[in-house]
Structure 1
Amino acid sequence: MRGVKAARLVMSFLLAVLLGASKAVYAETLSVLSPSEDDLKQWESKSFEGETQYMLERDSDGASFLRAISNASASGLFLKQDIDINEFPYLNWEWRSDKSLAALDEQSKSGDDYVARMYVVVDGGLFFWNTIALNYVWSSSATSKDAWPNSFAGDNAQMVPVKNASSASGTWYTEKRNLKEDFKAFFGKDISRIDAIAIMTDTDNSKQDAQASYRNIYFSKN
């Protein structure tokens, strides 16, 4: 992605995940990706550059997961869903780096690639420029930063490194983030609802190859 065109593509991705958001049915937990064929049908694709391949596979023990393969490409899967994070403040997921990226300057446009990302998006309504997103990322560097603005979308999208170059490839990691606290910490806003989530494995800027896996994405009360 390059310059103004790339910035517009980033914002179009954030906007695409918002159009037609559906109401969630609440329980103790709210699963959005088990994964299964039925779950995956609810997710839509958005491409920046080429197509990252997303496919359901199974581990040796029979457990299913979603594998992403990116070859100098960038496309994501997004799910439009209105979720009350006062009731369900925690986002939970499992992910794995299967083929990592060489170290990049991720705060530059040429280095804005990640083996794995998890987006959480809040709609700006008619004022689309108020749309904001948390990007939980698997960083290719050994960064100690808590977050940084996306090089294309600026302060509207904060990149939050959850895993980095020291995290082992081929190992499943379980993550749990308090969205209420993170939106307050990184945007200074008390957010009540989110409108969509997305996952993406992308290598369009660095022209590298990367592979990652995702499973068990859900929201919980605690």
Structure 2
Amino acid sequence: MSGKAAGNTMACSWDRLALLLLVPLLLGAAPVQVIDDFEQGLSSCWQPKVFQGVTDYRIIEDARQGKVLQAEARGTASALVCNVSFDPNETPILSWRWKIEAVHPKGDARSRAGDDYPARIYVVFPHWFPPLTRALNYIWANRLPRGGFLPSLYTERSVMIAVESDNDRAGQWLEEERDIVADYRRAFGEDPPEVGAIAIMTDGDGTGGRVRAWYDDIVFRPRN
């Protein structure tokens, strides 16, 4: 591709992004919130949270997606947490892209020993009394059927939602979309408070396994 053609393609991409961000403003709707698209590297909002060893998170160049976040866990469990603050009723639709190499062979959401996932995204709803903080945990499950809801084995205030499951679609970039208000109501039986953080986690501490996953384009937007 010539430099001019490449430049035109890049300009068109930026034009589309600008349009995506501008249209809600023109219509009087809440603006789209881009948590990170990783094109400028890893945003400074992301801070590590270490549980058991450090998962390797790094920005790489993907031939089709551009810059993406790669996560590799080798018997480790650490997350990246981005603090935010917004009303989920204004931008309830969470979308993202992800890909995994494979699920954990020994992974099982119903067992603490198997409570490892190649990819997951948390939406955290903080409370002034920290033990009452709640979270939706969107996982690429190992055995839990796609679409399943399951309370965390560690706290009923965190609910796992199997967005994908098993290796059927491993190795493919998938675009996901969830209504976090609807999911919160189903998980906890009431309307959600403000969102206070987003987290990404790839782990393998329970099974001792090695897994890799890739993340891109984490965005909140209003309903259509």
TM over 0.5: yes
Write the distance in 2 (CA, Å) between the matches of 1:217 and 1:118.
9
2:143 aligned partner: 141
> Quick check: 1:190 aligned with 2:205?
no
TM-score of the pair, normalised by structure 1: 0.83
> Quick check: 1:66 aligned with 2:69?
yes
> Quick check: 1:107 aligned with 2:99?
no
RMSD: 1.7
Please give the residue correspondences for 1:121-200 in structure 2 after superposition, counting only pairs within 5 Å: 121-125=124-128, 127-141=129-143, 143=145, 146-152=148-154, 154-200=155-201
2:34 aligned partner: 31
User: Residue 51 of structure 1: CA displacement?
Assistant: 0.4
User: Residue 192 of structure 1: CA displacement?
Assistant: 4.0
Write the distance in 2 (CA, Å) between the matches of 1:196 and 1:141.
27
Q: Percent identity among equivalent residues?
A: 31
User: Residue 36 of structure 1: CA displacement?
Assistant: 3.3
User: Residue 166 of structure 1: CA displacement?
Assistant: 4.6
Write the distance in 2 (CA, Å) between the matches of 1:77 and 1:160.
19
Distance 1:53 1:135, change over 3 A: same
2:78 aligned partner: 75
Write the distance in 1 (CA, Å) between the matches of 2:127 and 2:210.
34
User: Residue 170 of structure 1: CA displacement?
Assistant: 1.2
CA contact (8 A) 2:42 2:59 kept: no
Matched to 1:194, the amino acid is: V
SS at match of 2:171: coil
Matched to 1:191, the amino acid is: P
Could you list the per-position Cα deviations for residues 139-166 of structure 1 after superposition, in whole angstroms to 9, with x for gaps in the alignment?
Answer: 01152662111112x2111011000015
Write the distance in 2 (CA, Å) between the matches of 1:208 and 1:101.
7
In structure 2, stretches of 5+ residues that fail to align are 1-28
2:48 aligned partner: 45
Match of 2:93 among 87, 90, 93: 90
In structure 1, stretches of 5+ residues that fail to align are 1-25
* Segment drifting more, 112-121 vs 134-143: 134-143
Greater Rg by CA? 2
CA contact (8 A) 1:84 1:192 kept: yes
TM-score of the pair, normalised by structure 2: 0.82
Distance 1:62 1:167, change over 3 A: closer
1:4 aligned partner: none
1:220 aligned partner: 221
Could you list the per-position Cα deviations for residues 104-151 of structure 1 after superposition, in whole angstroms to 9, with x for gaps in the alignment?
Answer: 2212211110000100001111x2221000000000115266211111
Matched to 1:89, the amino acid is: P
Write the distance in 1 (CA, Å) between the matches of 2:172 and 2:212.
13
Write the distance in 2 (CA, Å) between the matches of 1:36 and 1:163.
25
